[in-house]
Amino acid sequence: MINFSNFEKKTGIIFKDKTLLQQAFIHRSYINENPGVPLAHNERLEFLGDAVLELIVTDFLYKKYPNYTEGELTALRSALVNAVIISEVALQIGMNDYLLLSKGEAKDNGKARQYILANTYEAYIGALYLDQGIDAVHKFVNTTLLPKTEEIVNKKLWRDAKSLVQEKAQEFVNVTPAYKVLHESGPDHDKHFTVGIYFGPILIAEGKGKSKQEAEQSAALNALKIKNWLD
């Protein structure tokens, strides 16, 4: 197993239960390739961390922007708790160097790695919550993810991305974007959707969310970034 002492020094967070820290970085593919590993993959921790992260971000935005409507707060939260943004943060704090992946996944540095990093960040939050409680997670999120809020607000990345991408796509490439659910998981009370945005037959970007609408907004925002259509 990987030694996480350097990562702990970098984050300033020393885990009491080191197995929780290790588990946060174990991708399902690694377990499939190494069935003798005594730890499970990180998906249960990600499930927990996702909920804790959403609460912290929602609480922060609610207090910081008292004049925003529910719809504006939802759009802003979707822009912040987005696989692209979270994976950037995960890269910045060095999580990529500690991932436990199958040999095949380890070679892929494209979109798949982006989602793995975002999921690992959430799994780490789940592990930290279990190890040290909500205050420790709040401090971690406050120093890593929440500073991105100003950029998102200043660049208006939280605007209704679906309307904006439709406007830009019709202007620049003369097509109306279409959305398709690519993946759906979880029980009825906790669904997770992955949606693709298409220009004609071409898949431009993907987005994730707890509803189809949220996943579509995320996909639209990612398409705007890929096409460099954000002013």
67 assigned binding-site residue: no
**Cβ-based neighbours of 98, under 8 Å, separated by 6 or more:** 2, 4, 7, 25
Tell me 145's DSSP state.
T
Q: What CATH number does the domain located at 161-226 have?
A: 3.30.160.20
DSSP state, 156? T
The response to whether 216 counts as a known ligand-binding position is: no
pTM, to two decimals: 0.74
As given in the structure block, the two tokens for residue 4 are 């996480």
Residues marked as catalytic: 50, 122
The tokens describing 214, both together, are: 């949220």
| Length of the chain measured in residues | 231
Do the annotations mark residue 46 as ligand-binding? yes
pLDDT of residue 191: 82
Taking only the tens place, the pLDDT of each residue in 125-152 is: 999 999 999 999 999 999 999 999 988 8
Domain range annotation of the chain: 16-154, 161-226
* CATH classification for the domain delimited by 16-154, as one of 3.90.180.10, 3.90.1300.10, 1.10.10.10, 1.10.1520.10: 1.10.1520.10
Provide the 10 A C-beta neighbour count for residue 80.
22
Q: Is residue 75 packed enough to be buried (19+ CB in 10 Å), middle (13-18) or exposed (0-12)?
A: buried
Q: Is-contact 106 97, C-beta < 8 A? A: no
Residue pLDDT, tens place only, 57-82 = 999 999 999 999 887 888 888 888 88
